[in-house]
């Protein structure tokens, strides 16, 4: 059978069976196209990309399929960290890349990493994603980026705690306070402890941690001395000796090149000199502290005089004032080389049962806490109390 097809004024005959086969082939192609469209509509997939936010506040993985997004939503933060790593890239003074602290979120079809502290200006950052369990992430992908340097205020070291110039040879830590958030990832490269007698820097005096001990603002850093060289009988102390020796003078030096998060250097080195004294093995004892007697109906400060310097940071959180069983609102001040604690209430004192409640973890500068000494042995390792209460008396 044949039928005619008009074409430019001519007529040509086409076998009907050929037309039927062509129609069937075309139908199959249309069905395949519709199926592909349906699959893509229900499992959309684009090319995987790593993208840095224009404000450099986050970095994201995009292009996951809908099913993959659903899959990674089941991952916890540790699993997301294994899949999507964001690190300070290795450089001349940083041989090993350092994982950046932060959190992950899944939104708008992307995995987004937000650093706990802003990415430092001028610092090379590597973002890398790979997962054998997520099909489109089976191949490793990575990008490097640098946040441009910004013009910011010159940073300053506002305080170094302990502030005393005579410190025990079993000193546990320093707190460094800065005026602005500082660049992280290589803090130990900016610190030296120098013996003023020999003029030689101490060898590995500090405990180097993978995750540096910054407070949430990025403006306070805790530096720990190596406990292995403080505690007697431990191998590091036997091999390298103690970091500090009673009678010797030392100088903590903070490098002038240390930069703020905005890339502005300190500009000049900062130094703290001190003399090491005999080791302090004694625990703080709240019952021996001297408390003032504020007047009822006033906001006179309640002060506590300790017999020694205590941990500056802990003094702001480990002592609570309670009246009638409830915490009293007020302002805390620490002074006199961390030997005095003062509390000014928000409202005048009332004649009610008032006491200070001291957390047993409160420490002195050598790490001895109310609950246990730093070099605890035997039964001392068990902390029998969680807090100590001391009654507050008032004047009429």
- State the Cα–Cα distance between residues 86 and 101, nearest whole angstrom: 9
Question: Do 122 and 80 belong to one domain?
Answer: yes
What is the CA angle 248-169-368, rounded to 5? 165
Write the DSSP assignment of 320-331 as a string of letters: EEEETTEEPPEE
State the CB neighbour count (10 A cutoff) for residue 103. Answer: 12
Report residue 239: phi and psi, to 5°. -85, -50
Cβ atoms of 174 and 271 closer than 8 Å? no
> What is the tens place of the pLDDT at every residue in 147-197?
876 667 899 999 999 999 999 999 999 999 999 999 988 899 999 999 999
Exposed e or buried b per residue across 56-65, where buried means at least 16 C-beta atoms within 10 angstroms of its C-beta: bebbbbebbb
Residue 13 domain-assigned (yes or no): no
Question: Do 89 and 197 belong to one domain?
Answer: no
In the chain, the number of structural domains is: 3
Q: How far apart are the first and last CA of the chain?
A: 121
Residue 2 domain-assigned (yes or no): no
Question: Do 269 and 173 belong to one domain?
Answer: yes
Tell me the average pLDDT across 301-319: 96
Q: With 50 as the cut, is the pLDDT of residue 39 above it?
A: no
3-class state of residue 50 by DSSP: strand
Residue 168 domain-assigned (yes or no): yes
- State the Cα–Cα distance between residues 266 and 258, nearest whole angstrom: 6
Of all residues in the chain, what percent are helix, strand and coil, respectively (each to 5)? 15, 35, 45
Cβ atoms of 354 and 323 closer than 8 Å? yes
Give the residue among 366, 315, 318 at the shortest CA–CA distance from 336.
315
- State the Cα–Cα distance between residues 236 and 382, nearest whole angstrom: 25
Q: With 80 as the cut, is the pLDDT of residue 282 above it?
A: yes
Question: Do 102 and 188 belong to one domain?
Answer: no
pLDDT at 262: 84
Tell me the average pLDDT across 274-302: 95
pLDDT at 82: 92
Burial of 44 (0-12, 13-18, 19+ CB in 10 A): middle
What average pLDDT is seen over the chain?
85
- State the Cα–Cα distance between residues 304 and 74, nearest whole angstrom: 51
| CATH number of the structural domain spanning residue 254 | 2.60.40.1220
Q: Write down the residue that tokens 């992307």 correspond to.
A: 110
Tell me the average pLDDT across 283-296: 94
Indicate the residue among 256, 277, 298 that finishes a domain.
277
Residue 96 domain-assigned (yes or no): yes
The token pair that represents 340 in the structure block:
């005095």
Percent of the chain whose pLDDT exceeds 70: 84
Residue 9 domain-assigned (yes or no): no
- State the Cα–Cα distance between residues 173 and 368, nearest whole angstrom: 12
Question: Do 350 and 260 belong to one domain?
Answer: no
Q: With 50 as the cut, is the pLDDT of residue 143 above it?
A: yes
Residue 334 domain-assigned (yes or no): yes
Question: Do 327 and 355 belong to one domain?
Answer: yes
Indicate the residue among 255, 277, 299 that finishes a domain.
277
Question: Do 127 and 180 belong to one domain?
Answer: no
Question: Do 257 and 292 belong to one domain?
Answer: no
| CATH number of the structural domain spanning residue 96 | 2.60.40
Q: With 50 as the cut, is the pLDDT of residue 292 above it?
A: yes
Q: With 70 as the cut, is the pLDDT of residue 50 above it?
A: yes
- State the Cα–Cα distance between residues 42 and 311, nearest whole angstrom: 59
- State the Cα–Cα distance between residues 79 and 81, nearest whole angstrom: 5
Cβ atoms of 162 and 312 closer than 8 Å? yes
In the Cβ-directed half-sphere of 287, how many Cα atoms lie within 13 Å? 2
> What is the tens place of the pLDDT at every residue in 82-138?
999 999 875 544 456 788 989 999 998 899 999 988 887 778 899 999 998 899 898
Question: Do 238 and 169 belong to one domain?
Answer: yes
Residue 197 domain-assigned (yes or no): yes
> What is the tens place of the pLDDT at every residue in 342-394?
999 999 999 899 999 999 999 999 999 999 999 877 555 555 678 888 888 88
Question: Do 142 and 54 belong to one domain?
Answer: yes
Among 242-251, 298-307, 384-393, the range scoring the smallest mean pLDDT is: 384-393
Tell me the average pLDDT across 297-314: 96
Indicate the residue among 121, 146, 171 that finishes a domain.
146
Q: Structural domain of residue 314, as residue ranges?
A: 286-391
> What is the tens place of the pLDDT at every residue in 206-226?
999 888 999 999 999 999 999
Q: With 70 as the cut, is the pLDDT of residue 7 above it?
A: no
114-118, 146-150, 202-206, 259-263: which has the highest mean pLDDT? Answer: 202-206
Residue 32 domain-assigned (yes or no): no
Question: Do 244 and 313 belong to one domain?
Answer: no
Question: Do 252 and 235 belong to one domain?
Answer: yes
Give the residue among 61, 70, 62 at the shortest CA–CA distance from 42.
70
Q: With 50 as the cut, is the pLDDT of residue 320 above it?
A: yes
């Amino acid at each position: 059978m044949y039928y005619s097809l008009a074409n430019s004024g001519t007529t040509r005959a086409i076998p009907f069976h050929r037309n039927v086969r062509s129609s069937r082939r075309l139908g199959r192609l249309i069905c395949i196209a519709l199926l592909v469209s349906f699959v893509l509509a229900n499992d959309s997939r684009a090319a995987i990309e790593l993208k840095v936010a224009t404000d450099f506040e986050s970095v994201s993985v995009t292009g996951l399929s809908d099913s993959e997004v659903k899959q990674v939503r089941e991952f916890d933060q540790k699993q997301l960290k294994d899949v999507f790593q964001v690190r300070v890239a290795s450089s001349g003074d940083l041989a090993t890349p350092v994982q950046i602290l932060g959190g992950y979120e899944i939104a708008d079809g992307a995995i987004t990493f937000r650093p706990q502290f802003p990415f430092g200006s001028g610092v090379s950052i590597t973002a890398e994603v790979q997962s054998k369990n997520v099909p489109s992430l089976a191949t490793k992908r990575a990008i490097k980026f640098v946040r441009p340097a910004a013009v910011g205020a010159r940073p300053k070291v506002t305080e170094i705690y302990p502030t005393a110039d005579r410190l025990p040879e079993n000193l546990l830590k320093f707190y460094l306070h800065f005026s602005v958030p500082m660049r992280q990832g290589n803090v130990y490269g900016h610190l030296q402890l120098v013996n003023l007698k020999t003029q030689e820097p101490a060898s590995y005096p500090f405990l180097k941690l993978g995750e540096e001990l910054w407070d949430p603002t990025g403006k306070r850093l805790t530096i720990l001395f190596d406990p292995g060289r403080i505690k007697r009988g431990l191998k590091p102390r036997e091999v390298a000796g103690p970091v500090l020796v009673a009678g010797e003078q030392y100088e903590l030096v903070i490098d002038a090149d240390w930069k703020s998060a905005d890339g502005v250097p300190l500009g000049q080195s900062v130094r703290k000199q001190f003399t090491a004294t005999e080791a302090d093995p004694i625990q703080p004892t709240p019952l021996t502290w001297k408390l003032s007697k504020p007047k009822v109906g006033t906001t006179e400060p309640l002060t506590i005089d300790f017999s020694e310097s205590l941990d500056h940071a802990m003094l702001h959180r480990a002592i609570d004032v309670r009246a009638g069983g409830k915490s009293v609102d007020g302002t805390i001040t620490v002074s006199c080389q961390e030997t005095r604690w003062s509390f000014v209430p928000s409202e005048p004192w009332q004649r009610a049962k008032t006491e200070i409640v001291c957390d047993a973890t409160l420490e002195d500068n050598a790490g001895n806490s109310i609950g246990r000494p730093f070099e605890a042995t035997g039964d001392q390792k068990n902390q029998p109390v969680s807090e100590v209460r001391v009654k507050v008396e008032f004047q009429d």
